[in-house]
Amino acid sequence: MTDTVPASIIVATSVVDTIAHEAQASRDGTETGGILLGTTEGNSLVIRHAGGPGRHATRRATFFQRDLNHAQALGDQAFERDRSVWVGEWHTHLAAPAVPSSRDIATYQKLLADPELDFDFFVAIILADPTNNWTQPQTATWFITPSETRVIITNGHT
């Protein structure tokens, strides 16, 4: 979707707010999440929109899979609004740290390897709250390429 790996990633405040709000659905004991959409501005990737899970998402205690139709509809809306494209995903972890699981990494690598999607990189924001309170989750932003997975931004208490 983009030709170069960005030097920095900027997460819009509205995205932080949306994710913080949506993550509270994990109080029911299952993971939740959604897609991230954004644009490349010079050397920066700006994440402008975050989706919710959608009605047909698979939400389990240790697994989340987006509702594909919901994600596609959000993607179409965002592209019309400001040319934002699908750049990544966010999801919650209930009993694990804010680190991609081996299954998460396998999913991201599969997306990166899909020639139709044409990703050069994938961004994953993972929220964790072992207390299951979700008022101040630990949050980490991960940057994944075919050759590496690294954390780029962390905040929240540990």
> What is the binding site for Zn ion (CB under 5 A)?
101, 104
**Taking CB positions, which residue lies at the least distance from Zn ion?**
104
**Closer residue to Zn ion, CB minimum distance, 101 or 145:** 101
Q: How far is the CB of 4 from Zn ion (least distance, A)?
A: 27
For residue 33, the SS3 value is strand
- Whichever of 60 and 83 has its CB closer to Zn ion, that residue is 60
> Which residue pairs from 3-8 have beta carbons closer than 8 angstroms and sit at least 24 positions apart in sequence?
3/120, 4/40, 4/43, 4/120, 5/120, 5/121, 5/145, 6/40, 6/43, 6/44, 6/45, 6/121, 7/43, 7/44, 8/43, 8/44, 8/45
CB of 51 to Zn ion, least distance (A): 16
Judged by CB, which is closer to Zn ion: 104, or 129? Answer: 104
Query: Minimum Å distance from CB 41 to Zn ion?
Result: 28
Q: Which is nearer to Zn ion, 40 or 101 (CB)?
A: 101
